[in-house]
Amino acid sequence: MTDLSQPVLGGVAPYLFVSNAAAAAEFYAEAFGATEVARAPADPQGRLMHVHLVINGGSVMLSDPFPEHGSPQKEPQAFMLHLQVSGIDDAFQRAVDAGAEVTLPVQLMFWGDRYGQLRDPFGVAWSMGESQKKG
């Protein structure tokens, strides 16, 4: 898919530099139900400069590292991507079945959500929450 004119959804859209953006896009489709809306063609080395996904109603962009253009590969650190979901047990298990590592099992938290954390095979930390408030 090469239509790069797709609108960016959400207030802040993360742009992740991950090793093997094509594999990450496939993982996010399997683990989180991502839909790919745009992809730039790969360069001669097979690296992707841009993949636009929609996950849980918001845009997430991916790129392979391009150190020659100021985008080196570094281990993700000091951030987490959060998904507010319905049916957290199924959503969480889907990510685990796809290969995510549980870093905090789903549990009832002091603020009232059922909440858990994962790390994907590309090193990115994710959290999921489901409100337990009625109405």
Q: Domain residues of the chain, as ranges?
A: 15-66, 81-131
pLDDT at 74: 81
Instruction: Give 10-residue mean pLDDT values along the chain (135 residues).
Output: 77 92 98 97 95 96 92 82 96 98 97 96 96 81
Domains 15-66 and 81-131 share a fold: yes
Alpha-carbon span 82 to 111, nearest angstrom: 15
Query: Is the domain covering 81-131 a CATH 1.10.10.10 domain?
Result: no
End-to-end CA distance of the chain: 40
The CA distances from residue 4 to 1, 36, 37, 58, 117, in Å, are: 8, 11, 8, 16, 31
Q: What's the CATH fold of domain 15-66?
A: 3.30.720
